[in-house]
Amino acid sequence: MAIRLNKATRDLNVGIATVVEFLQKKGYVVEANPNTKITEEQYAELVKEFSKDKNLRLESERFIHERQSKERSKISVSIEDNVIKTVIPDEVRPKFKSVGKIDLDELNLKSKKGRDETGEKIVEKEKQPEVVDEKLLIAKEETIQDNEVQKEELVAVALSSVLSTDSRVDEEEEKEEIMADESQKEEKEVVFLEEKDDTKERESKETEAVEVESGVFKIRPTEFVSHINVVGQIDLSTLNQNVRPKKKSKEEKQKEREEKDKIRQDQKNRMKEAIIKEIRKEEKPVGKPEEKQTVAAAAAGVKKKRSRINKEKVDINNVPSGFSRPNPNNEKVKSGQVKNRSVQNNNRFKRPLFKQEVSEEDVAKQVKETLARLTNKGKTKTAKYRREKRETAFNRQQELESLEMEDSKVLKITEFVTANELASMMNVSVNQVIATCMSIGIMISINQRMDAETINLVAEEFGFNTEYISAEVSQAIVEDEDDPDDLRPRAPIVTVMGHVDHGKTSLLDYIRKANVIAGEAGGITQHIGAYNVMLEDGRRITFLDTPGHEAFTAMRARGAKVTDIAVIIVAADDSVMPQTKEAINHAMAAGVPIVFAINKIDKPNANPAKIKEELAGMNLLIEEWGGKYQSQDISAKQGIGVNELMEKVLLEAEMLDLKANPDRHATGSIIESSLDKGRGYMATVLVSNGTLKMGDIVLAGANYGRVKAMFNERNQRIQQVGPAEPVLILGLNGAPTAGDIFHVIDTEQEAREITNKREQLQREQGLRTQKILTLDEIGRRIALGNFRELNIIVKGDVDGSIEALSDSLIKLSTEQIQVNVIHKAVGQISESDVTLAAASDAIITGFQVRPSASARKYAEQEGVDIRIYSVIYAAIEEVKSAMEGMLAPKIKEEITATVEVREVFHITKVGMVAGGMVKEGKVKRTDKARLIRDGIVIYTGNINALKRFKEDAKEVVVNYECGISLTNCNDIKSGDIIESFQEITVKATL
C-alpha cells in the first residue's frame, strides 16, 4: 500500500528533505513533494533508518499523554444548572446564643448565605442568571485525604472572618464539630464547588464578615489593610516640561565619554607606575660608593627628602582596578628608612654587591601579566561571547580555504580528454605531459585522447586527483560475454609500421598486387589504409598501413592499438630512424608481437647486419642472434623474401590463437573518417568482434547513424562484414574521431540519448579546457613587446590527417608567436569557415580539399587567405615561414672600414675635419661612423662629408688618405680611430 511522504515524515519525526535524500542514496527516484506516494519497501527502509527518531516521537507523545491525564485527574469538569446542596444533619449545625433579633426585610437580599458540611458558604444570586465557568472536582476515596488540608484552610478562613467577641466560643465549637464531621466522612464521596472567577470569590467573601454593634448583627465587606509604607508625596501639578532636566546634546555626551575615558586611562597609568616602582624597589641594585654619595647629597635636598618620606608601598595583589591605595603603615616605612640609612653609613666602606639589573622586557612582561590578572575579573559574558564568535568565524574560514585547496586539486574530466586539454586543466606545459607518458612507456601526441588509467597516472604525477563525470555514459553500453563454444578462428590484423620511404606501402603493394602508392600525393602515405588480403593457400590477413612521417604519431598509435601483430620495416641502406623507434615503442606499449622486415636488400649499399646491430643496441635481439624477435630480409620491389615474411606472420598469429564470435552485434574501431560531397560522412571501420550488417544502428563517439551502404577496400558494395575485416560505411550523422570504439545499438532512441550525453560532456570539457588570459600572461606579452598570435582553421579530407596537421602546427608555437587552431573539421572549405576566419583574423589551411565557389568568392571579398596543400610537409613549412614573417627583423651591424686620424683641420662654417688613412676595409659616404679614443667610444653618428683631396668621394679604399667630417661632432683629435659600419636587417627565425 502506498503511503504519502508527508505522513511518513510525521510518523518518523524527520524532515521531507532528509527522507528524499536518503531514498535517493538508496537508488530510489522520489520527488520532494509532500503528496508523493512511496512504496511499502521504501517505507520499510525509512523505518529501518529512522527508527530512533520514531521512538523519540512515540516517547514524547506518551509523556504528553501521561501529563495530560494527570491534569485531568486533578480537575474534572461537570456542568450543572443548579448548585449542588448537601443535607446537613441537625447535630452538626452551628449553634448560636440568641442575644437579639434581626429584621430580615432590612437586609440586602442580593446574596444569601448557606453552609455545607465543610463549612464553605455557597452564594446564590437571585433574578440575575450568572454565567460562571465552574469546575467541579469529584474526589474519590483515594484522594479525600489529600484534600483535607485544603478544606480545613477554607473553613478556617471562613470562620476567622467572624469578628464578634460574643460568638467566638460558638465559632470554636462549630469548628470542632465540623472537623469531627470531616473525620467521620472520610469514606464518603464529597463534592465541593470551586469558583474560578476571582471577582465572584471576592464578592462572596466580602459578605462573610459579621460584626456585632450595639447587640445587633450586621453584615459588611471585609476591610483590607494596606502594607504600603508612605514616605512622602509628589505634587503632580508642579511637574511640567520646565521642571524636567534638559536633554543632553551629542557634544555634551561625547565630552562626558571622553572625560570618563581620560579618568580611566589616568587610573590605569597610575596603577602601572605603582607596579613598576614596586618591582624596581624590590630588585634595586646596590651601586658604587660614588653613586651612594651622590644619592646622600641629593637626599639633603627638600624635594628628594619629601619624595622619600611620601613613598608608598604598593601591594599589587590588593590593588583594585582603577585606584592605587596608599599604605596605611607610613610611619613604619619612615622609621625603616632612617634605620636603613644608618646601616648604609656603617657599611659604606664594605665591598659593594652588584645585582643584575632588571631589563625593560622583564618589566613589560610583569606589567602585562599583572594587568591581565586584574582585568580578567571585569570581563563580561558579552566579551567572552564575542571572542568565541570571532574564533568560530576564523575556524570556519580556515576550513573553507582548506576545502577550496582540496577542490582545486581535483580534475573533473571525461575519458574523451586529450593530452593538450589535460595539460591546460593542470596549468602545465603539454610537453611535460608527453614526457611523463613517455617515461611510463606510453607514446602520445598533443591531440591524442587518453584512457582513464593513463590520465590517472599523469594526474598523480603532477599532484592532482581525478573525478570522472562520464560514468553513466560508459555504463550505458553493456557488452555481453561470449560463450567459448561460439568463438571461431579469425584472421590476424597486421600493422605495417616504420620510417617514411622505407617501403611499407611497397610491401603491401606487392602483397595486394596493386599500385597503392599511385593514389597517394607525393608518393607518401597520409592515411591509414586497411586492406584484407587472401593468400594463395586461402588464408586471410588484414593489413593496416600507417604513415611514417612524424606528424602522424597519433595514427601510428591507433594502428598499434587495434592490431594483433606489428611488422616493423627498416631500410637496409639506412638506419633505425626516430620514427622507427617510435613505432617500436607504440607496439611494445600495446603489447603486440613484433616481426622485423629489413627492406631494400637488393640495393648495392644495403647492410642488413648494421640494422641488426642497431636493434641489438636497443635490447631487441632477433632470433638469429639468440633473441625472441623474428626477422626477415626482403625486397618489396623484387618480391624477395615476402612469402617467408608472410609465413612468420602467420606463425605468430597461430601462437596467439585469435578467435571471435561472428553471431552477435558488431564492435570495433574507427580507422578513418571523411566527408564526401555525394555520399556524406564516411567512416573506415575495422570490426573486431561480431558481424556488421546493412541497416544496423552504429554508435561511435558522439555520432550515430544507420548503416546505409558498405564498401570494401576495392570500392565494391557488400552486405555484411565479419570479424577482423575492414569496411567503409555510410550513414553516420557526423565524422567520428579516428580511434573511437563503435558499437551496434538495438534502437535509434537509445543511440540518440547516449550521443546527447556525450556531446554535453564534450562541450563541458571544452569549456573547462579553455585557457583564460591571465594577468601574468598579459604581463609576459607586454614584456616581450612583439608578441603575435596566428589563428588557423584546418580543413581536411580525413580526420586522421586533420589531427596530424593541427598537432604539428600547435607544436610550432614559440614564446613570441602562439599558433591557435581555432577550428578543425573534415570536408570542403565552406562560407561559414570564411566568416569565422574573417571574424577571428585567421588563415584557412586546406589539406587535400578545395573551397566551394561561393566560399572562394566570399574569401576574396573579405580578404581571407586560403592555402591548399596536398603534402603535409609543405603545409608545415609554409606556416613556419609565415610565422617567421610575423617576427620583427633583427638588426645586425657590419664594420666596413677603420680610419686612423693623423691630422685635424678647422674649417670655417664646417667645423673640425679629420685627415686620416684607411687602415682596413672600404669607407663609404652612406656609412655610419663611430669615433673611438683610447678604446672608448666618444661619438656615434653619420658621416657628414667624405673627400679625397678637394673632391667629394663616394668611397675610399684601404691605404688611401681621405678627409672625414662627422655630423655634430667637433671633438676630434690626432690619433683617434674612426670606425665605419652598416646596419643590416636580418630576417628573424624561429
Once rounded to an integer, what is the mean pLDDT over residues 617-625?
83
Same domain assignment for residues 269 and 321 = yes
Check residues 329 and 902 and name the one with the higher pLDDT: 902
Q: Which of 653, 644, 649, 639 is nearest to 507 (CA)?
A: 639
Same domain assignment for residues 756 and 800 = no
Same domain assignment for residues 198 and 318 = no
**Most confident segment among 145-159, 653-667, 952-966:** 952-966
Looking at 155, 188, 219, which one is the last position of a domain? 219
Mean pLDDT lowest among 20-29, 163-172, 431-440 = 163-172
Residue 229 lies in a domain: no
Structural domain that includes position 788: 773-886
Q: Which residues contact 40 (CB under 8 A, 6 or more apart)?
A: 1, 2, 3
Residue 400 lies in a domain: no
Residue 94 lies in a domain: no
Cα 89 versus chain centre, distance: 92
- C-alpha–C-alpha distance, residues 198 and 196, integer Å: 6
Once rounded to an integer, what is the mean pLDDT over residues 867-883?
84
Banded model confidence at residue 321, pLDDT cuts 50, 70, 90: very low
- C-alpha–C-alpha distance, residues 921 and 907, integer Å: 27
Check residues 687 and 446 and name the one with the higher pLDDT: 687
The total of structural domains in the chain comes to 8
What is the tens place of the pLDDT at every residue in 165-223? 344 444 444 444 445 454 444 444 433 334 344 444 444 444 444 444 444 555 555 55
Task: Identify the pLDDT of residue 979.
Answer: 93
Check residues 549 and 480 and name the one with the higher pLDDT: 480
Name the β-bridge partners of 541.
533
> Quick check: 970 pLDDT over 80?
yes
Banded model confidence at residue 244, pLDDT cuts 50, 70, 90: low
- C-alpha–C-alpha distance, residues 345 and 485, integer Å: 123
- Residue with C-alpha cell 620495416? 569
Residue 85 lies in a domain: no
Once rounded to an integer, what is the mean pLDDT over residues 72-89?
53
Residue 640 lies in a domain: yes
Same domain assignment for residues 918 and 961 = yes
> Quick check: 122 pLDDT over 50?
no
Residue 981 belongs to domain with CATH number: 2.40.30.10
Once rounded to an integer, what is the mean pLDDT over residues 259-270?
88
Same domain assignment for residues 502 and 530 = yes
Name the β-bridge partners of 819.
790
Residue 613 lies in a domain: yes
What is the tens place of the pLDDT at every residue in 657-705? 888 888 888 888 888 888 887 888 888 888 888 888 888 899 988 888 9
Q: Which residues contact 568 (CB under 8 A, 6 or more apart)?
A: 497, 498, 580, 583, 584, 587, 594, 595, 596, 597
- Residue with C-alpha cell 523519540? 56
Residue 583 lies in a domain: yes
Same domain assignment for residues 213 and 307 = no
> Quick check: 121 pLDDT over 80?
no
- C-alpha–C-alpha distance, residues 936 and 674, integer Å: 69
Task: Identify the pLDDT of residue 47.
Answer: 84
DSSP secondary structure letters along 776-790:
HHHHHHHHHS--EEE
Cell triple for 353: 654587591
Cβ(932)–Cβ(955) below 8 Å: no
> Quick check: 514 pLDDT over 60?
no
Mean pLDDT lowest among 103-107, 493-497, 847-851, 871-875 = 103-107
Same domain assignment for residues 624 and 518 = yes
> Quick check: 525 pLDDT over 50?
no
User: Hey, CA dihedral for 64, 65, 70, 75, is it positive or negative?
Assistant: positive
Same domain assignment for residues 726 and 816 = no
> Quick check: 143 pLDDT over 50?
no
- The one-letter amino acid code at 169 reads V
Per DSSP (E only), the strands in 381-480 are: 410-413, 465-468
Once rounded to an integer, what is the mean pLDDT over residues 537-550?
72
Mean pLDDT lowest among 304-318, 715-729, 867-881 = 304-318
Banded model confidence at residue 60, pLDDT cuts 50, 70, 90: confident
Banded model confidence at residue 783, pLDDT cuts 50, 70, 90: confident
What is the tens place of the pLDDT at every residue in 796-815? 888 878 888 888 888 888 88
> Quick check: 151 pLDDT over 60?
no
Once rounded to an integer, what is the mean pLDDT over residues 119-144?
40
Residue 481 lies in a domain: no
Same domain assignment for residues 504 and 621 = yes
Range list of H helices, 623-711:
642-656
Cα 8 versus chain centre, distance: 37
Mean pLDDT lowest among 21-35, 93-107, 705-719, 884-898 = 93-107
- C-alpha–C-alpha distance, residues 932 and 948, integer Å: 22
Which H or E element spans position 704? strand 703-711
> Quick check: 302 pLDDT over 80?
no
DSSP secondary structure letters along 576-624:
--HHHHHHHHHHHHHT--EEEEEE-TTSTT--HHHHHHHHHHTT--BGG
Name the β-bridge partners of 900.
917, 977
Same domain assignment for residues 881 and 895 = no
SS3 assignment, position 727 = strand
- C-alpha–C-alpha distance, residues 741 and 416, integer Å: 12
Q: Which residues contact 598 (CB under 8 A, 6 or more apart)?
A: 569, 570, 571, 572, 608, 611, 612, 631, 632, 633, 634
Same domain assignment for residues 945 and 977 = yes
Same domain assignment for residues 928 and 840 = no
Bridge-based pairing of strands 703-711 and 697-700 is antiparallel
Cell triple for 61: 507523545
Once rounded to an integer, what is the mean pLDDT over residues 288-315?
46
Once rounded to an integer, what is the mean pLDDT over residues 460-487?
68
> Quick check: 920 pLDDT over 70?
yes
